[in-house]
Structure 1
Amino acid sequence: MDHQLDQHTAVKETLPTVFGYLGIGIAFGVVGRASGFSPWLVLFMSLFIYAGSAQFITVSLLVSHSPIISIVLATFLVNARMILLSLTIAPYFKQASLAKNIFLGTLLTDESFALGMNKLNFTQGRLNFPWFNTVNLLAYATWNIATLIGALIGNYIADPQQLGLDFAIIAMFIGLLYLQVSADRSLALSLQLLMIGLTLALSYFGAVFIPSNLLIIVVTIVGCSCGVFIKHRFYPGQTTSH
């Protein structure tokens, strides 16, 4: 097995993202407990829903006694982007069994996807099941432990927003973006910065017209389409390693 794609390497490369999982996971646990749910029910939600933003929405909908179908549809819409992310990583696991592919897709997160895309810069465009599965499992375990911690201490925290835990996930993605840009030599830096600026603009102005649960999907599709056009129109000599 390539030492760059083994479990030990996966653990080391996932550890920097753990703080993001801890921050937002504890915040969810606190919010869930403050909403009147028992620590074990809060943990159960993390174990079986395992979707940060969707879990916050689920708690608010349950508290407001919304119909089950509304909760299911809201959760699906918020996490529909995972379909796009799964389709993106699927080609790298053609040699893996269907069961392994399903397992990877089930535990896939925005963070593990970002780590995977960044990893391609160092492995000549290759990924394997042991590395990616370790990333996913470490993220899953951390998220659930953080949720339980938050639920257990929830009674002692009146306002979780005062801790600034909601910014942890944003800070983590800023770090992942920096690593991606600094490591990717297959695309011109100017092209990458241009696409970052375009994505920010699309997100900012799109938030005015597009529902928040669809914004990520729309920006992803529009941004990728613009990126392909700009790359082939203004950077014809650029080739990607993956």
Structure 2
Amino acid sequence: MDDSLTTRSAIKETLPTVFGYLGIGIAFGVIGRASGFSTWQIVLMSLIIYAGSSQFTTVSLLAAATPVSSIILATFLVNSRMILMSTTLAPYFKRESTAKNLLLGTLLTDESFALGMNKLNYTEGKLSFTWFNTANWIAYLTWAGASAIGSLLGGIVGDPKQLGLDFAIVAMFMGLLYLQLITDRSLPRSLQLLVVGITLILTYLGMIFLPSNLVIIVVTLIGCGLGVWLKHAFF
């Protein structure tokens, strides 16, 4: 990464994340096709719902003839973490129009959020609409394209796990976390590692005691709260 906030810079810095979108998007297409959905239905889900984990949930619920109201509620709960992410990003785009902010929020993903947080380490705490919008659109179009490819391959690939596609998104986030740790010099390294360790423990416990669709948002709230307290109390 560098300190440029141009379209060209956004393309260069977003491209490495494309492989994560491709892996999990193809996996979604394969699973959607195996659940009885056509290619155009799968692509429309990716274009309209545009939420990886929620789309997997939606496919399974639709296949089980679950009421639409329940599907909408489940999708909201799974994606409620986006409220926290959007709130975090909002201060960097206060001078942009409401329409531009809505566009950024609509296409925001976990990956583009993580990229944006990393980018702040190189730009003295600044983000631009051009850079972030480009990153979002690359993610959006790649996800839709990967879903289409997965659907077309649905009859060939029976189980996406056999190709390791289910681990693609995990590997990508591990890389983004590493980049965040080595570039963010505003916080002590010991505090960063401590918060990472606490987050891992909270996630493990959350997967035992909480519904899966609430784990991310609950762990985020508790982890952030503990991180702020540790920073002011000991660092």
Q: TM-score range by the shorter chain?
A: over 0.9
Match of 2:44 in 1: 44
Query: Please, which moves more after superposition, 80-89 or 205-214?
Result: 205-214
Tell me which stretches of 4 or more aligned residues in structure 1 moved more than 6 Å: none
Q: What are the Cα deviations for residues 33-92 of structure 1, in whole angstroms up to 9, with x where unaligned?
A: 111111111001000000000000000000000000011000000000000000000000
Match of 2:77 in 1: 77
Query: Please, which moves more after superposition, 153-162 or 117-126?
Result: 153-162
1:184 aligns with 2:194: no
Query: Please, which moves more after superposition, 81-90 or 201-210?
Result: 201-210
SS in 2 for 1:4: coil
Given residue 169 of structure 1, which amino acid in structure 2 is its aligned partner?
Answer: I
Given residue 155 of structure 2, which amino acid in structure 1 is its aligned partner?
Answer: N
- C-alpha distance in structure 1 between counterparts of 2:206 and 2:30, whole Å: 31
1:91 aligns with 2:96: no
Q: Shift of the alpha carbon at 1:208?
A: 1.2
- C-alpha distance in structure 2 between counterparts of 1:66 and 1:84, whole Å: 28
Given residue 94 of structure 2, which amino acid in structure 1 is its aligned partner?
Answer: K
Q: CA RMSD in A?
A: 0.9
Name the TM-score, length of structure 1 as normaliser. 0.95
- C-alpha distance in structure 1 between counterparts of 2:116 and 2:223, whole Å: 20
Given residue 68 of structure 1, which amino acid in structure 2 is its aligned partner?
Answer: V
Q: Shift of the alpha carbon at 1:210?
A: 1.0
Match of 1:19 in 2: 19
Q: Shift of the alpha carbon at 1:25?
A: 0.2
- C-alpha distance in structure 2 between counterparts of 1:191 and 1:3, whole Å: 25
- C-alpha distance in structure 1 between counterparts of 2:159 and 2:221, whole Å: 37
Query: Please, which moves more after superposition, 206-215 or 43-52?
Result: 206-215
- C-alpha distance in structure 1 between counterparts of 2:115 and 2:173, whole Å: 10
Distance 1:184 1:3, change over 3 A: closer
- C-alpha distance in structure 1 between counterparts of 2:151 and 2:40, whole Å: 8
Given residue 138 of structure 2, which amino acid in structure 1 is its aligned partner?
Answer: L
- C-alpha distance in structure 2 between counterparts of 1:47 and 1:139, whole Å: 11
- C-alpha distance in structure 1 between counterparts of 2:45 and 2:158, whole Å: 22
- C-alpha distance in structure 2 between counterparts of 1:95 and 1:160, whole Å: 44
Q: Shift of the alpha carbon at 1:173?
A: 0.1
Match of 1:4 in 2: 4
Given residue 105 of structure 1, which amino acid in structure 2 is its aligned partner?
Answer: G
Name the TM-score, length of structure 2 as normaliser. 0.98
The 5 A counterparts of 1:129-208 are: 129-208=129-208
SS in 1 for 2:155: helix
- C-alpha distance in structure 1 between counterparts of 2:189 and 2:37, whole Å: 48
Q: What are the Cα deviations for residues 189-231 of structure 1, in whole angstroms up to 9, with x where unaligned?
A: 1110000000000101121111110111110000000000000
Match of 1:103 in 2: 103
Given residue 82 of structure 1, which amino acid in structure 2 is its aligned partner?
Answer: M
- C-alpha distance in structure 1 between counterparts of 2:76 and 2:70, whole Å: 10
Q: Shift of the alpha carbon at 1:3?
A: 6.5
Distance 1:121 1:223, change over 3 A: same
SS in 2 for 1:127: coil
Given residue 133 of structure 1, which amino acid in structure 2 is its aligned partner?
Answer: N
